[in-house]
């Protein structure tokens, strides 16, 4: 059985592939099938994840999992949200997005935030009952960057229970508690209940 990871984000591929590696599934990133990027025209994580999973399943003819995720910051009224990847512009780097986040928050004391992850599994492009799971992960936006691991906003996402940023966790530690890790555990148990791929 082959499953396509419907993402062009290497950070997501690393985390998802690691968590799926114990399963007897051949997990392949969409780049291996030259799946082009699709426009994320939704206004919700759920809509965007469905768009990406359907697109990859259509082009590859294989089941696909998409991940739409982002950071909700209370002091910015929920921004950047679904625009997290494009916060500082269409092809912004992770560093550009972090710089914009820190400058918009400035010395705002309301720094509570959470990552959201929605995972969608479509068994084929016309799957009328995709599996949809979501989870969040609570943290605080730091005043300065810390840590080299992870991707995206991890260097400024402080997790009080672990007393460090998510960029200071190993991949295993992050997967054990993150929004993505929790959403994937849910997806895998639903998949099991439904008899697998
Ligand atoms: P794909 O659409 O190809 O999957 P993308 O990077 O465009 O890749 P999204 O639209 O879902 O994906 O954007 C999610 C952004 O939210 C991502 O680029 C990061 O900036 C941020 N993000 C999501 N999960 C994160 C995590 O675990 N750690 C840090 N930042 C994260």
Across 150-179, average pLDDT = 98
The catalytic residue positions are 68
* pLDDT for the residue numbered 73: 99
Overall fold of domain 2-193: Maf protein (3.90.950)
Q: What is residue 31's predicted lDDT score, i.e. its pLDDT?
A: 98
pLDDT digits (tens, 9 = 90+) for 49-99: 999 999 999 999 999 999 999 999 999 999 999 999 999 999 999 999 999
The yes-or-no verdict on residue 156 having pLDDT over 90 is yes
Report which protein residue has its CA nearest ligand 1's atom 7: 85
- Is the complex ipTM higher than 0.95? yes
- Closest ligand 1 atom number to CA of residue 8: 3
25 Cα to the center of ligand 1, angstroms: 24
**Is 183 in contact with 133 (CB distance < 8 Å)?**
yes
Is it the case that residue 195 has pLDDT exceeding 90?
no
pLDDT at residue 47 greater than cutoff 90:
yes
Q: What DSSP line would sit under 172-188, residue for residue?
A: HHHHHHSHHHHHHHHHH
* Mean pLDDT for all residues in the chain: 97
Domain boundaries, the chain: 2-193
Contacts of 95 (CB under 8 A, 6+ apart): none
């Amino acid at each position: 059985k082959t499953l396509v990871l419907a993402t062009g984000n290497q950070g997501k591929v690393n985390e998802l592939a690691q968590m799926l590696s114990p399963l007897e599934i051949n997990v392949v990133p969409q780049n291996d099938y030259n799946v082009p990027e699709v426009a994320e025209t939704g206004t919700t994580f759920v809509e965007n994840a469905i768009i990406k999973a359907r697109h990859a399943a259509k082009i590859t003819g294989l089941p696909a999992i998409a991940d739409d995720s982002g950071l909700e910051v209370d002091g910015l009224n929920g921004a950047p949200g679904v625009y997290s990847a494009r916060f500082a512009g269409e092809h912004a780097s992770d560093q550009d997005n972090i710089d914009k986040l820190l400058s918009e928050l400035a010395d705002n004391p309301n720094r509570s935030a959470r990552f959201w992850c929605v995972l969608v599994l479509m068994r084929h492009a016309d799957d009328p009952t995709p599996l949809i799971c979501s989870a969040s992960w609570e943290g605080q936006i730091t005043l300065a960057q810390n840590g080299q691991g992870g991707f995206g906003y991890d260097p400024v996402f402080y997790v009080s229970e672990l007393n460090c940023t998510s960029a200071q966790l190993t991949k295993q530690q992050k997967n054990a508690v993150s929004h993505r890790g929790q959403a994937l555990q849910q997806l895998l148990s639903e998949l099991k209940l439904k008899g697998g791929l």
